[in-house]
C-alpha cells in the first residue's frame, strides 16, 4: 500500500519534479495546494531553516509525512544573492524573467560580466514526520550564468544556468538529464539512501 506524502509546495513545476523523483518509492504524493495547506512565512536566514519550517508546518497541519525544500540560486559575485531570496526576487507574480533580469543588472552594477559569472544552485530537503522528527539534507550543483536566458523546459532561474561540464542551460536540457544531475537530484540521492535504510530497518 502506498504511503501518503505531502510535498509542502504550491509550485506546480517543483511538485511535478518531486513526484517523478519519488516515484520509485511508491509514495502517494499530494501537494500542499491540493490539501489547501497555508504556505508559512519563510523567516529563516538559511536554506536549512526555511526547509525545516515549511516541512514541520505541513506535517503539523496534515498529520502526514511531509517533504519540503528550500532552494535557490547563489551568485558568488553578488555576495551569494539572491540565495534564500531567490523566489522573492521574482515578486508576487513569480515573474522569473524579471528575476533573471535583476541578476544581470546587479552583476553589471557590481562591475562584473554577467556571462560566465560563477553561480550554483542549492537544494535543501527537509523530511518532517507527524511526531516532529526531522531529516535535513543538502545538495548543490555549480556552474556559470549565461544571458539572455535560453530554453523553456525548466522553471525559475533554469534558463540562465549552465552546469559545469555541459553546454546547455537547465532550461534547454532534457528534463531526464537535468533530473539526473541537478542540486535537487543530489539532495534526493542522499534522501533515497536514507529512505532505503529506513525501509530496511
* Residue boundaries of the structural domains of the chain: 3-200
Question: Contact, 98 vs 91, CB < 8 A?
Answer: yes
Tens of pLDDT, residue by residue over 147-181, are: 999 999 888 999 999 999 999 999 999 988 998 89
User: What is the chain's mean pLDDT, rounded?
Assistant: 91
CA dist list (Å): 192 to 58, 74, 183, 199: 21, 25, 14, 10
pTM of the model: 0.87
Q: CA geometry: angle at 189 spanning 59 and 179, to 5°?
A: 95
Using CA of residue 7, residue 33, residue 55, residue 122, what is the dihedral sign?
positive
Proportion of the chain above pLDDT 70, given as a percent: 99
* CATH number among 3.40.920.10, 3.40.50.10170, 3.40.50.261, 3.90.950.10, domain 3-200: 3.90.950.10
Tell which wins on pLDDT, 122 or 40.
122
| 49 vs 148: CA distance, rounded Å | 33
Question: Annotated catalytic sites, by residue?
Answer: 70
**Does the structure show a pLDDT above 60 at 1?**
no
pLDDT bin (cut points 50, 70, 90) of residue 76 is very high
Amino acid at each position: 500500500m502506498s504511503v501518503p506524502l505531502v510535498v509542502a509546495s504550491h509550485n506546480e513545476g517543483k511538485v511535478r519534479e518531486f513526484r517523478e523523483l519519488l516515484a520509485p518509492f511508491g509514495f502517494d504524493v499530494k501537494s500542499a495546494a491540493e490539501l489547501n495547506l497555508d504556505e508559512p512565512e519563510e523567516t529563516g536566514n538559511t536554506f536549512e531553516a526555511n526547509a525545516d519550517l515549511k516541512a514541520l508546518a505541513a506535517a503539523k497541519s496534515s498529520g502526514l509525512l511531509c517533504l519540503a525544500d528550500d532552494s535557490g540560486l547563489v551568485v558568488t559575485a553578488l555576495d551569494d544573492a539572491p540565495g534564500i531570496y531567490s523566489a522573492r526576487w521574482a515578486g508576487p507574480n513569480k515573474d522569473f524573467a524579471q528575476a533573471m533580469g535583476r541578476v544581470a543588472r546587479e552583476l553589471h552594477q557590481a562591475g562584473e560580466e554577467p556571462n560566465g559569472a560563477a553561480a550554483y544552485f542549492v537544494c535543501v530537503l527537509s523530511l518532517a514526520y507527524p511526531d516532529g522528527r526531522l531529516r535535513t539534507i543538502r545538495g548543490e550543483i555549480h556552474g556559470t550564468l549565461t544571458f539572455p536566458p535560453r530554453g523553456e523546459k525548466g522553471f525559475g532561474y533554469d534558463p540562465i544556468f549552465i552546469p559545469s561540464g555541459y553546454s546547455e542551460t537547465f532550461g534547454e536540457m532534457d528534463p531526464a538529464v537535468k533530473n539526473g544531475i541537478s542540486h535537487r537530484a543530489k539532495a534526493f540521492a542522499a534522501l533515497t539512501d536514507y529512505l532505503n535504510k529506513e525501509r530496511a530497518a
